[in-house]
Amino acid sequence: MKFHNLTIQDIRQKLNSGELTSVELTRVCLERIKATDDKLNAFITVCEEEALAAAAVADQQIASGNGALLTGIPVAVKDIFNTLDVRTTCASKILDDYVSPYDATTITKLREQGAIIIGKLNMDEFAMGSSGENSAAGAVYNPWDTQRVPGGSSSGSAAAVAAGQVVATLGTDTGGSVRQPASHCGVVGLKPTYGRVSRYGVVAFASSLDQVGPVAGNVEDCALMLGVVAGYDPADSTSVDCLVPDYLENLKTGVAGKKIGLPKEYFIDGLDPDIKKAVNSAIETYRQLGAEIVEVSLPHTDYSVASYYLIAMAEASSNLARYDGVRFGIRQDSGDGLIGMYQQTRTAGFGDEVKRRIMLGTYALSSGYYDAYYLKAQKVRTLIRQDFHDVFEQVDLLLTPVAPTPAFKIGAMTNDPLQMYLSDIFTIPTNLAGTCAMSLPCGFSEDGLPIGLQLIGKPFAEAEMLQAAYAFEQATDWSDRVPEL
């Protein structure tokens, strides 16, 4: 069975009618993982026994008419979500032997809807990276071309969906980590508004920017997954107590009469010609669908990468102070006292990119530099948010590319971290502003690599953004293509 052209609701019907059992479906996923993951390395942990046992229970629930939205459907999550009695490594050596003593709220919500957690997905270590290469579990490879990166940091979350290993996954997006890999792998990925989804139990990278987001093969499944995980959580004091609409209910509303803005700072000279062509064609599609297209300006865009990396690194240096060999993770101790144990543990446990960011963050927060770096970056962040606030007085949505180039070759930027950071230019500003955004397929490069379109919505207007994405998806056939593996 192939579920590339089936939505979660199609599968739901097949399960409910008895045409398919959850055990059969789970076996299909497990076999697909076995058949493809030596090429992709998308999974860190596969929970085969637990998944099959859960599938058998799900089949009983379905037979007795007690199925929920995701009952019996296998999904997978980035290895950053605490999942009870399963390893959660964040693709780091320092958490190599860490077994979660509890479920993240998002995992609880998936389980409440009957989802089967089939495994934990590879990623850039502690979600730091744009290529999927910074992993103690080894790099992830792009299903469309295994010589290329899948994007990052939710590399496994995007690759697994693109390769048909599972129908949907969860990732996290701090500066584009759901949208950019979704774009590079030709799937749909959504970063909700800051505060929309609980982060309780999700390992923290940069707390003022991190947000949980779904990845799926189509817009409808992405909407369904968002509805499952969204909502206020008393255990996360940054989650926002506002109504979660039914994202599926008005999905077919269309975009007629909507005003879509094209921020001119995102359509720069250096943009890859294939991407320019695909995005321009998407703009034309939206025009034909009845949207009004206007040029707008987000004048501080050029400062977003600098502001973002200072804030993200500073917060990371603070958040990652907890990995000190005391309460969890590995410990290295050659008997040089407590400080020596900290140093040896952290030096042995963290990878190069994580160390680099901790160092830069520590520097930016250190005495004498705090005002010049961290405080300055926070002030510039205010200007960037104001840009979005102003522009959303004029338009309903923004349309931009997701990344300046299609997926690049493995190793192409390994020795040039700054160049890698600059590739996040189109996704970072929305994390700084806190608003919602998503990536959906809008074409292919001449080399056959997927290209993603970014829609940016007003804060907490995910429903409207999904409606626009759905209209585009129905009018085109980019989401129907699947990679050959």
* Structure letter (DSSP) for residue 179: H
Provide the phi-psi class of 201: left if phi over 0, else alpha when psi is between -120 and 50, else beta: left
Residue found by looking up tokens 């817009």 in the block: 219
**Interface of this chain with another protein, residues 319 to 378, rule: CB under 8 A:** 321, 324-331, 333, 335, 337-344, 346-347, 350, 355-356, 358-360, 362-363, 366, 373, 375-378
Return the number of the residue (40 or 136) whose C-beta is nearest another protein: 136
Omega of the bond leading into 153 within 30 degrees of 0 (cis): yes
CB-CB contact of 473 with 263 (8 Å)? no
Return the number of the residue (71 or 130) whose C-beta is nearest another protein: 130
User: What string marks each residue from 292 to 321 as x (binds another protein by CB under 8 A) or -?
Assistant: --------x-xx-xxx-xx------x---x
Q: Annotate 28-56 with DSSP letters as a single string.
A: HHHHHHHHHHHHH--EEEE-HHHHHHHHH
In whole angstroms, give the CA distance from residue 373 to residue 341.
30
**Interface of this chain with another protein, residues 439 to 468, rule: CB under 8 A:** 459
* Number of residues in contact with another protein under rule CB under 8 A: 72
- Strand, helix or coil for residue 265: helix
Return the number of the residue (261 or 325) whose C-beta is nearest another protein: 325
Among 22, 106, 142, 193, binds another protein (CB under 8 A): 193
From the list 252, 240, 241, 235, the residue with the least C-alpha distance to 289 is 252
Among 18, 101, 138, 290, binds another protein (CB under 8 A): 101
Among 108, 146, 208, 281, binds another protein (CB under 8 A): 208
* 98 forms part of the interface with another protein (CB under 8 A): yes
Task: Quote the least distance from Cβ 276 to another protein, whole Å.
Answer: 25
Return the number of the residue (294 or 338) whose C-beta is nearest another protein: 338
User: What string marks each residue from 368 to 407 as x (binds another protein by CB under 8 A) or -?
Assistant: -----x-xxxxxxxxx-x----------------------
Return the number of the residue (28 or 242) whose C-beta is nearest another protein: 242
Task: Quote the least distance from Cβ 467 to another protein, whole Å.
Answer: 23
Task: Quote the least distance from Cβ 424 to another protein, whole Å.
Answer: 13
Return the number of the residue (148 or 300) whose C-beta is nearest another protein: 300
**Interface of this chain with another protein, residues 226 to 255, rule: CB under 8 A:** 234, 237-238, 240
In whole angstroms, give the CA distance from residue 123 to residue 291.
37
**Interface of this chain with another protein, residues 123 to 162, rule: CB under 8 A:** none
Catalogue the active-site residues.
78, 153, 177
Task: Quote the least distance from Cβ 349 to another protein, whole Å.
Answer: 10
Return the number of the residue (144 or 388) whose C-beta is nearest another protein: 388
Task: Quote the least distance from Cβ 340 to another protein, whole Å.
Answer: 8
Helix H segments across 213-267?
219-229
CB-CB contact of 406 with 279 (8 Å)? no
CA dihedral for 310, 312, 315, 318, sign (positive or negative): negative
Q: What are phi and psi of 111, to 5 degrees?
A: -65, -40
Task: Quote the least distance from Cβ 392 to another protein, whole Å.
Answer: 14
Cβ-based burial of 238 (10 A; exposed 0-12, middle 13-18, buried ≥19): middle
In whole angstroms, give the CA distance from residue 265 to residue 296.
9
User: What string marks each residue from 253 to 272 as x (binds another protein by CB under 8 A) or -?
Assistant: --------------------
In whole angstroms, give the CA distance from residue 227 to residue 248.
8
